[in-house]
Amino acid sequence: MSGTFVGMPTFPKNAAKAVQDSQLRFNLRKATHTIRGKRASVVGELDDWAELREAGKTIKDHTLRHLDDYLIQMEEKVTAAGGTVHWARDAAEANRIVARLVKETGETEVVKVKSMATQEIGLNEALAEEGINAYETDLAELIVQLGDDFPSHILVPAIHRNRAEIREIFLKHMAGAPKDLSDEPRALAEAARVYLRQRFLEAKVAISGANFMIAETGTLVVLESEGNGRMCLTLPKTLISVVGIEKLLPTWQDLEVFLQLLPRSSTGERMNPYTSMWTGATEGQEFHLVLLDNGRTSVLADKVGRQALRCIRCSACLNVCPVYERAGGHAYGSVYPGPIGAILTPQLRGMDTPLDRSLPYASSLCGACYEVCPVAIDIPAVLVDLRGKARHTRAEKAGMAAAGWVFNRSKRLAKAQRFGGRMRKLVPKRLPGPLSGWTDTRDMPDIPAESFRDWWMREGKR
Amino acid sequence: MSAAAREVILRRIRSAVEGAPEAEIVRGYKGITGEPGDVELFAERVRDYKAVVHVVPRAEVAATIAGITAQRLLAVPEGFPSHWYAPSEGETDGVISTCAVAIAETGTIVLDAGPGQGTRAQTLIPDYHLCLVREDQIVPNVPDAIARLDATRPLTWISGPSATSDIELNRVEGVHGPRTLEVVIAIG
């Protein structure tokens, strides 16, 4: 990714623009509905899905409760297996560590496996400033990088692009792309294969993330489809993995739960084509693990919000979300779009910008995300909690305080209702000034002449 | 620098979880069966990924491989049983390997760099991969496979040929890994 989300307007503004783009809406609808169906059918094959989900949830909660112990164990095991462990408090520190490690190899080019953590910290941009070129090797990431675009989905970052658009991007920006390239997915994949093959064989340094880390053994786990992950993880002499501290699992056995939950939730397959697992320096490689905090410990400190750290980045919540399906991923202004992004981004970045404050409202609270979440993150509950924590205007706070005062005592409410009933003829159909925003798109409800309570007191006793 | 960062992160974690309730792990899901895996189910699930599958008695394995490789010359990793395949010298256009474990429920083959499997790169770079699976290596599900494997070995889990769904979520077989996966299952 070469763009930046900094300075984006609020979610409603972004979304209003996105819904005007009929091509985008068509692409998203087609993609999310296809993957929804696939997920439902493979999840339905396992009659112990509810139990797997409960295990996934409790394993993650247990790990987070003892995260300090498990991180220390992970560090010991990786070190014992010949790897080097680095700790990074924030994005800048992680980027500095990676840049230094790359420079120490004397190389100026690195290949990358798709990784959310390195996108989150803006690693490619940071490396570019140090004179290091990072080449994304996942097909969708490549499409995003060549098109100088933003990712719009966790799993399929180029989901907003259709085949014709991808062909255009390849012809314009991919060196050596065949002039007669068609827009057949097979031909486009072949072009990417040819373009990247030499790069894989020549690369001396690779950078990856990881889906899981096993504290008991010091093992890292990467799930993928194309084989670009295997290429990057096995061929280069030096491997640097940047991994969020919440990616830990205590034991090797715990992986049996997540290898069932993740592929079925994510790509809707019984298993993804390739999964690589390695422990420390493997087959003559040099291995560095960078453990990343970057806001995760402050999420951990929040009693309600900490459940967001269970997330295994499957993106099932994006695919079922009615808001995501219409607004698209870019509107969220973060590498984490959709329902999970709406609770993760404001917690990781804080709610200092109008965009980040608007994210907890990017939901109708329908709960579909909670239902499909393989680790049972109660996204609606966290959204409501964050809405309470977001900064509100003085007028809104005063209005809410006044309403609270009235609703708190039944006598006050009765008086207010009677007053409203008498004034009902005077209430305009459209509200004046800043309140007109409400009545522009909604009808002002009619105020009844008499409240139900008063009617009941009068008529109900007969 | 890194030592300071380590202490700061660990301190942040400890203060963040202080007083949080203990979280017990609940394992109500189906665990290890310890039973043999279903060969037919495994073959069907591997075929679902568009791989080519042959199920043959052990005595016919050599003849089956000979038939498959009539038009090909495959690289042979160290430790591959020579009575099944022993090619002449020359330029190869694919690779043959054994495996460590196979999972029926998911149609997955796991390589652990043991005898006959080679390094991770050996089964990755060629465009064609022929994998030999013995019946006794097939287990029913993922927990059975995890129990049989050693985490500290380099492991590659393979479920069908390389694929991508990045273009309009259309599955296309064959991007960077072998574009063709062929599996011979030896029964008996």
Residues on chain B touching A58 (C-beta within 8 angstroms):
23-26
Put simply, the answer to whether B23 touches A58 (Cβ < 8 Å) is: yes
Q: What is the mean pLDDT of chain B?
A: 94
Token look-up 């995760």 returns A296
The mean pLDDT of A411-438, rounded to a whole number, is: 86
pLDDT for the residue numbered A2: 37
Q: Which residues pair with A222 in a beta bridge?
A: A276
Q: Compare all CA atoms of chain B with the CA of A230 and give the residue at the minimum distance.
A: B124
Give residue A105's identity as a one-letter amino acid code: T
Residues making up chain B, counted from first to last = 188
Q: Which of residues 107-126 of B touch A (CB under 8 A)?
A: 107-108, 113, 119-121, 124
In this prediction, the answer to ipTM > 0.85 reads: yes
Whether A293 and chain B come into contact, CB under 8 Å, resolves to yes
Note whether B105 contacts A270, CB cutoff 8 Å: yes
Longest dimension (CA), chain A: 93
pLDDT in tens, B5-27: 999 999 999 999 999 999 999 99
C-alpha of B30 from chain center: 22
In A, minimum Cα distance to B119 occurs at A283
Q: Which residue has the higher pLDDT, A176 or A277?
A: A277
Q: How far is the C-alpha of A210 from the C-alpha of A394, rounded, in Å?
A: 44
Select from B176, B179, B180 the residue whose CB has the most chain A CBs within 10 Å, as the one to mutate to test that interface: B176
Length of chain A: 462
Give the residue among A33, A191, A82, A410 at the shortest CA–CA distance from B164.
A191
Q: Which residues 136-165 of chain B have a CB within 8 Å of chain A?
A: 142-143, 145-147, 151-165
**Mean per-residue pLDDT, A159-187:** 92
What distance in Å separates the CA atoms of residue A124 and residue B96, rounded to the nearest whole number? 38
Helix, strand, coil percentages, rounded to 5, for chain A: 55, 10, 35
The whole-number average pLDDT for the span B73-81 is 96
A59-73 average pLDDT score: 98
pLDDT at A3 over 70: no
| CA A436 remoteness from chain centre | 35
What's the alpha-carbon Rg for chain A, to the nearest Å?
26
Closest C-alpha to A209, from A200, A217, A221, A218: A221
Q: List helix spans (H) across A272-360.
A: 296-300, 316-320, 322-327, 338-349, 354-358
- Judged by CB atoms closer than 8 Å, whether chains meet at A189 and B108 is answered as no
Question: Which residue matches tokens 């031909």?
Answer: A187
Q: Give the CA radius of gyration of chain B.
A: 21
What does the pLDDT look like over A311-354, one tens digit per residue? Answer: 999 999 999 999 999 999 999 999 999 999 999 999 999 998 98
Residue identified by tokens 């809104």 is: A396
b/e A295-329 (16+ beta carbons within 10 angstroms → b): bbbbbbbbeebbbbbbbbbbbbbbbbbebbbebbb
User: Token match 């009617």: residue?
Assistant: A455
* Closest CA in chain A for residue B103: A271
Compute the distance between CA of residue B111 and CA of residue B48 in angstroms, rounded to an integer.
20
CB A308 within 8 A of CB A370: no
Domains of chain B: 33-187 (3.40.50.10420)
Helix %, strand %, coil % for chain B, to 5? 25, 20, 50
pLDDT of residue B89: 85
Return d(Cα A242, Cα A161) in angstroms, integer. Answer: 28
C-alpha B127/C-alpha B132 separation (Å) is 17
* Sign of the alpha-carbon dihedral angle for A320, A321, A325, A328: negative
Other CB atoms within 10 A of residue A391 CB: 10
Residue ranges covered by each domain of chain A:
11-297, 408-460
Residues of chain B contacting residue A166, judged by C-beta atoms under 8 Å apart: 167
- Eight-class DSSP state of A87: E
> Collapsing DSSP states into helix, strand and coil, what is residue B109?
strand
Where in A169-237 does DSSP place strands (E)? 205-208, 212-214, 219-224
User: What average pLDDT does range A115-133 have in this prediction?
Assistant: 96
| pLDDT band of A272, cuts 50, 70, 90 | very high
Contact B139, B31 (CB under 8 A): no
Cβ-proximal residues to A407 (8 Å cutoff; 6+ apart), any chain: A413
| Residue A399, number of CB atoms within 10 A of its CB | 12
- pLDDT beyond 60 at A1: no
DSSP character at residue A164: H
Cα–Cα distance measured from residue B23 to residue A58, given in angstroms and rounded to the nearest whole number: 7
Mean pLDDT taken over chain A: 93
CB crowding B117-135: b at 16 or more within 10 Å, else e: bbbbebbbbbebbbbbbbb
> What's the pTM?
0.91
Calculate what percentage of chain A has a pLDDT beyond 70. Answer: 99
pLDDT in tens, B22-33: 999 999 999 999
User: If you average pLDDT over residues A175-194, what whole number do you get?
Assistant: 91
Chain A residues with CB under 8 Å of B152 CB are 81, 217-219, 279
Q: What does the block give as tokens for B185?
A: 């299952």
Between CA A50 and CA A372 the distance in angstroms is: 11
CA of B30: which chain A residue's CA is closest? Answer: A48
B117–chain A nearest CA distance, Å: 14
- Which tens digits make up the pLDDT trace of B51-67? 999 999 999 999 999 99
What fold characterizes domain A11-297?
Rossmann fold (3.40.50)
Which amino acid type is present at position A61? D
User: Quick check: A189 contacting B, CB < 8 Å?
Assistant: yes
Q: Considering CB atoms only, which of B16, B119, B175 is closest to A297? A: B16
* A59, A225, A279 member nearest B151 (Cβ): A279
Give residue A402's pLDDT band: very low, low, confident or very high (50, 70, 90): very high
Q: What is the rounded end-to-end Cα distance, in angstroms, of chain B?
A: 60
Total CB pairs under 8 A between chain A and B: 230
